Amino acid sequence: MSLATFVLGIGLLLTSVARVSALVVSISQAAQVQDAQGSAQAAASDQKTQSQPQPCTSTSTPSSSDCKPSAKPKKKHRTSSASTKSDAGPSKTVVRNGGTGESSVAISSGEDEKQAARLKETNRLLDAADLNIKDVAVREPNASQQETIKQIRGYMDQARAAVKSGDVDRAYNLANKANMLAADLNGR
């Protein structure tokens, strides 16, 4: 290693240190500005509370300028629920973004992963149930077994419809029922 390479390495190291220190200085200045802004907001908040009249105590009178009389709670008269509803008028409906349907709720990424795993398991259960039904069908099932096969296929169809409508939990439950019945029917 030559002396020039060594000096160049030291120079690069010093440049990096200078950049880091400049970054630290700018971060500390930004923090000081935020602290100053927070202090100014706190002072303004304190000034607002001080300028508002405080409730009168037993020793002060409402006529003094440093307090305001406390309002006595008003008594509420109860009316029958039927008359309240008729007096209230029509209810308001808020329509967001120009639509009239239900607003969709964004699912968090954790929920997306959970739903995707549930959907994958649902498809696996449907495939397993289908294989079990095919195994039983090869052996010429009796009338009772044929009725059970119809029930299993009904659960499978409902599960597929639930997947299409986005109800993954219902689809999973139906696929699980179909798979358990099919496995029981096949003797597994």
Q: Which range has the worst mean pLDDT, 1-5, 11-15, 51-55, 142-146?
A: 51-55
Whether 53 is covered by a domain: the verdict is: no
Q: What is the pLDDT of residue 139?
A: 87
Question: Which residues is 162 bridged to in the sheet?
Answer: none
Identify the pLDDT of residue 160: 94
Which one, of 175, 135, 170, 183, lies nearest residue 156 by Cα? Answer: 175
Cα separation of 114 and 168, whole Å?
10
How many other C-beta atoms are found inside a 10 Å radius of the C-beta of residue 153? 15
Structural domains in the chain (count) = 2
> Has residue 80 been placed in a domain?
no
The verdict on residue 21 lying in a domain is yes
Has residue 117 been placed in a domain? yes
The residue ranking higher by pLDDT, 180 or 95, is 180
Residue at 148 is within a domain? yes
Residue 156 inside a domain? The answer is yes
- 58 in a structural domain: no
Cβ–Cβ under 8 Å, residues 129 and 179: yes
Residue 99, domain member (yes or no): no
Q: Bridge partners of 54?
A: 67
pLDDT at 56: 58
For the domain that residue 169 is a member of, what is the CATH number?
A: 1.20.1270
pLDDT band, residue 121 (cuts 50/70/90): very high
Least confident of 7-21, 40-54, 118-132, 133-147: 40-54
Average pLDDT over residues 122-128: 94
For 182, the domain range is 109-186
